[in-house]
Amino acid sequence: MIREAIAKGDTVEAAFTNACRELGVETTEAECEILEMPTKKTLGIFGGSPAKVRAFIEEPEPPAQEEHDPIGEATEYLKNVLAAMGLPQVQISVKEEETGAALTLSGDDLGFIIGHRGETLDALQYLASLVANHVEGAYFRLTLDVGNYREKRKETLEALGRKMAYRAVKSGRNSSLEPMNPYERRIIHTAVQTVEGAKSWSEGEDMGRHVVIGPEGGERPQRRNDRRGPNPNRRGNGHYDRDRRGPRPPRPSQPRTNPAPRTEGPKSDDPGAPIYGKIEVKK
């Protein structure tokens, strides 16, 4: 590829310098072609023309950029990862969408790919998305599924969101759910919006970010079940606090009476004792 610039000057050297300045290179880096030689003015007043030159440099052609295939690259990456996990026979089906594609894995013994609450599946999806979007300025939305897990998980989260929303409206208390990824939190928020009187928001940072569901007007004050009023000596578990109410007053002392002496009869283990004891004869 040739880059060139044409310039004029009072002399050939000046014209060449001007042309190289337009190219952004030094005079030692460019070639010069004289188009017109300068002519002097007649009597120093009439006629005359400046020099005109062409400066040019030859640059190598830029290498042709390879066509980016996000689906093919992501699929090939997943196959290599799954083979390293001991699943070389997993089938990957592709469904192209408007802004990306949905990849579905099928095969035997794929349960552990999902992981606890889909954590392993989410990690594989994240890594495959990085591969599909390694070209700067491009965005390709990629989703990964196994055995229709995503749809089942969505239904479960929707039911959970509605259930907790109804509970929040009835009890007037806030409820915090377990940490979730942004996609699952969005499902919860959408489900809560269908319950009148309930609202939801997210709290926490990074991996601990979770959804909180509560009544629209905020938490309501709770009524006490004890109608007798609060007892400062009563603990939360219903027992009295001995330290708060002070020492227990002493019980009134009762006169102690000695029992009547007991006459000992014959012991059953005395072989010489009569069976019925002493018999008194009536007079």
- What are the pLDDT digits (tens) for 100-143? 899 999 888 888 888 888 889 999 999 999 988 876 666 788 89
Query: Could you report how far apart the first and last alpha carbons of the chain are, in Å?
Result: 156
**Residue with more model confidence, 239 or 208:** 208
Question: How far is it, in rounded angstroms, from Cα 212 to Cα 165?
Answer: 10
Multiple choice CATH, 151-215, 3.30.1370.50, 3.40.50.1000, 3.40.50.720, 3.90.180.10? 3.30.1370.50
- What are the pLDDT digits (tens) for 83-99? 998 888 889 999 988 88
3-state helix, strand and coil shares in percent for the chain, rounded to the nearest 5: 30, 20, 45
What CATH class does 70-147 carry? Answer: alpha beta
Residue intervals of the chain classified under CATH 3.30.300.20 are 70-147
- What are the pLDDT digits (tens) for 33-66? 888 888 877 666 666 788 888 888 887 776 666 6
> Residue 278: which pLDDT band, with cuts at 50, 70 and 90?
very low
Q: Which region among 61-75, 144-158, 259-273 has the lowest average model confidence (pLDDT)?
A: 259-273
Is residue 270 scored above 60 in pLDDT?
no
Count of CB atoms situated within 10 Å of the CB of 39:
11
pTM of the predicted structure, to 2 decimals: 0.52
Determine which helix (DSSP H) or strand (DSSP E) holds 22, and give its type and residue range: helix 12-23
Residue intervals of the chain classified under CATH 3.30.1370.50 are 151-215
Q: Which region among 72-76, 250-254, 273-277 has the lowest average model confidence (pLDDT)?
A: 273-277
Q: Which two tokens stand for residue 89?
A: 């026979």
Strand, coil or helix: 108: coil
- Give me the long-range contacts of 214-222 (CB less than 8 A, separation at least 24): 214/168, 214/173, 214/174, 214/175, 215/168, 215/169, 215/172, 215/173, 219/172, 219/173, 219/174, 220/172, 220/173, 222/172, 222/173
Is residue 275 scored above 70 in pLDDT?
no
